[in-house]
Structure 1
Amino acid sequence: MEIRRIAVFGAGVMGAGIAQDAAAHGLEVVLVDQTEDGLTRARQSIENSLNLELQRWGITGSEKKVLLSHIKFTLNRSDVGSVDLVIEAIPDDLAAKQDLFSQLEIQFEKMCPGEVTYVSNTAILPITDIALKMVNKERLVGMHFLAPVPAIKLVEMVRGVHTSQATVDRAKELARRMGKTPVDVLENPGYITARLVVPLINEAIMLYQEGTASKEDIDVAMRLGFGFNKGPFALADQIGLDIVLGWSEHLFHELGETRYRPQALVRNLARRGHLGVKTGKGFYSYETRVDNAEEKI
């Protein structure tokens, strides 16, 4: 059965980005959050992103209106109705994800039993652990989207111990419908992207703190020398320093290797609320706060 309507739970940067990209590819989307403030920020984030596309002549005003009409914003889970697929996009807190999926399964199995595919947008957590409180564990799969979701064409597909092939195939159908390239990964800590990018960012910070080179020159060296779209400092700002810190803490705890040890500089910036592009300041300063960042650095 073709995927036509999805629900996204969690209207943060990732949830808003997933909702926008899904709607841009013709899907009907219900975006659910716990707070009115969260929904307001998500709506503004999506509109800001679309306005950038308008300025670049990437879309027309009519196309913007059509895209927004495909997204329903709500605080009430009961407003979601019947859907083909559910995406959880809350922060990477294992207990919170377990509880949410337990509640969502009760809700949707009453409404459309046996039909819904469940997806966790997690960057680091094992899908098998997230599914612990679910009855239909075979219908949960991980899809790790990367921010900004509309711009990045990759999604990591993470299979749990119980995940069925039919569930994986269904999730890949969604990924391709959204113009993404899915890559299969085992549920090892950090998957591919976080596992590789954290040591890169950490090493760049050490080079900077040693006085080997400036942040700007390190970024230029990696962009021009190795064809990176962004250098490690600009990349960390795009990911979000709170996210980078969370990935580092998780990987260091799970693997115990010093290359994943959280850097004090990242911790200090995150503590002060300097999280990168989304707050207007991180390793670099940005003229305006952008919640769903797509600018080039």
Structure 2
Amino acid sequence: MKNISVIGAGTMGNGIAHVFAQHQHQVTLIDVSAAALEKALATISNNLDRMVKKETIQPADKERTLANIHTVTSIEEGVKNADLVVEAATENVGLKLKIFQEIDGFAPAKAILATNTSSISITQIAAVTKRASQVIGMHFMNPVPVMKLVEVIRGFDTSDDTTRIIMELSQSLGKIPVEVNDYPGFVANRILMPMINEAIYTLYEGVAGVTEIDTVMKLGMAHPMGPLQLADFIGLDVCLSILRVLQAGFGQPKYAPCPLLVNMVTAGKLGAKSGEGFYQYSTGSKELIPAPKFAR
């Protein structure tokens, strides 16, 4: 697993590239946007600077890590020498299926194809390839360089050998892999998203305000972050997408997204990445202020 290709230079993709490169893998980071690739490298560099400042790595480690990352805008060029491809594109079924068809056509026959999806069926993704036994889920947590968990999701046809390799590889990155089976939402989001959705319903029905709901869950349940702040951090559009996958996969009304969540995503209030969700976000400020719609 020397050569790693990562598709998608967004928050998850650049974090995954960072971790592999820091552990001396040769990483090819792929995105159709050259600007996105440039931004990703800047983000990785800034994150490494923070690690140097905290003395968790040395300045030379930063330079080695950056030297291990190469960028391209072509999937064909980017995966041609890959031992492992990790797809970290937007959480959209159609897009992921298209990407996997392309990867399957261009990557070496021996390469393992992984997806960082947080909810979409590994079996469905594997079905569009000619190597279903070599397709697996690697669901990293955000922020990738910090969070230890990797959900390793076996599709219906994922082989024992593929699973073993990815479990061992995840451990070599300093992560703690947990093997799970391929059902909607896997484990993390099957449990997390209904909680977030219920918190949004609690706000929607006027039971309590944004800060009150988050405070109860932080102080009462020992959660490091309240569910509404966490939803903003994940991205409200991502939360909505996962809830819809759960609702379609299980056919149960308990997974139906709260109308408030639907309206916020429709209005472009996506959380931290858009500058406003349940809270407002400004560059350089760590103060959480409920968005005007929810301020009391």
TM-score normalized by structure 1?
A: 0.88
Closer, same or farther: CA 105–242 of 1 in aligned 2, 3 Å: same
Are 1:168 and 2:167 matched, yes or no?
A: no
Percent of paired sites with the same residue? 36
Closer, same or farther: CA 147–30 of 1 in aligned 2, 3 Å: same
Q: 2:230 aligned to 207, 232, 235, which one?
A: 235
Q: How is 1:132-211 mapped onto 2 (pairs within 5 angstroms)?
A: 132-211=127-206
How many angstroms does 1:28 deviate by?
Answer: 1.6
**Counterpart-to-counterpart distance in 2, 1:233 and 1:4:** 39
Alpha-carbon displacement from aligned partner over 1:236-278 (angstroms, at most 9, x marks no partner): 1111111101111221222232332122222233233332223
How many angstroms does 1:133 deviate by?
Answer: 2.3
**Counterpart-to-counterpart distance in 2, 1:222 and 1:7:** 39
How many angstroms does 1:60 deviate by?
Answer: 4.2
1:117–1:170 contact (8 Å) kept in structure 2: no
1:21–1:178 contact (8 Å) kept in structure 2: yes
**Counterpart-to-counterpart distance in 2, 1:185 and 1:241:** 25
Indicate the residue corresponding to 1:30 in structure 2: 28
**Counterpart-to-counterpart distance in 2, 1:54 and 1:248:** 38
**Counterpart-to-counterpart distance in 2, 1:126 and 1:80:** 22
How many residues are treated as equivalent by the alignment?
A: 287
**Counterpart-to-counterpart distance in 2, 1:175 and 1:40:** 26
1:279–1:289 contact (8 Å) kept in structure 2: no
Closer, same or farther: CA 58–274 of 1 in aligned 2, 3 Å: farther
Alpha-carbon displacement from aligned partner over 1:42-95 (angstroms, at most 9, x marks no partner): 223323333443454444443322221111111133155522211111123333
**Counterpart-to-counterpart distance in 2, 1:52 and 1:213:** 37
Higher relative contact order (CA 8 A, sep 6+): 1
Indicate the residue corresponding to 1:70 in structure 2: 68
Are 1:5 and 2:10 matched, yes or no?
A: no
Closer, same or farther: CA 75–296 of 1 in aligned 2, 3 Å: farther
Q: Tell me which amino acid in the other structure corresponds to 1:74.
A: V
Are 1:48 and 2:85 matched, yes or no?
A: no
Q: Tell me which amino acid in the other structure corresponds to 1:14.
A: M
Q: Tell me which amino acid in the other structure corresponds to 2:158.
A: T
**Counterpart-to-counterpart distance in 1, 2:161 and 2:263:** 44
**Counterpart-to-counterpart distance in 1, 2:227 and 2:119:** 19
Structure 2 gap ranges (5+): 289-296
1:194–1:247 contact (8 Å) kept in structure 2: yes
What's the secondary structure of 1:273's corresponding residue? Answer: coil
Indicate the residue corresponding to 2:97 in structure 1: 98
**Counterpart-to-counterpart distance in 2, 1:158 and 1:225:** 32
What's the secondary structure of 1:211's corresponding residue? Answer: coil
**Counterpart-to-counterpart distance in 2, 1:60 and 1:296:** 31
Indicate the residue corresponding to 2:107 in structure 1: 108
2:151–2:178 contact (8 Å) kept in structure 1: yes
Alignment RMSD = 2.2
**Counterpart-to-counterpart distance in 2, 1:219 and 1:47:** 32
Structure 1 gap ranges (5+): none
What's the secondary structure of 1:166's corresponding residue? Answer: helix
Closer, same or farther: CA 218–57 of 1 in aligned 2, 3 Å: farther
1:8–1:88 contact (8 Å) kept in structure 2: yes
Q: Tell me which amino acid in the other structure corresponds to 2:51.
A: E
What's the secondary structure of 2:279's corresponding residue? Answer: coil
Indicate the residue corresponding to 1:82 in structure 2: 81
1:86–1:116 contact (8 Å) kept in structure 2: yes
2:30–2:71 contact (8 Å) kept in structure 1: yes
How many angstroms does 1:289 deviate by?
Answer: 8.1
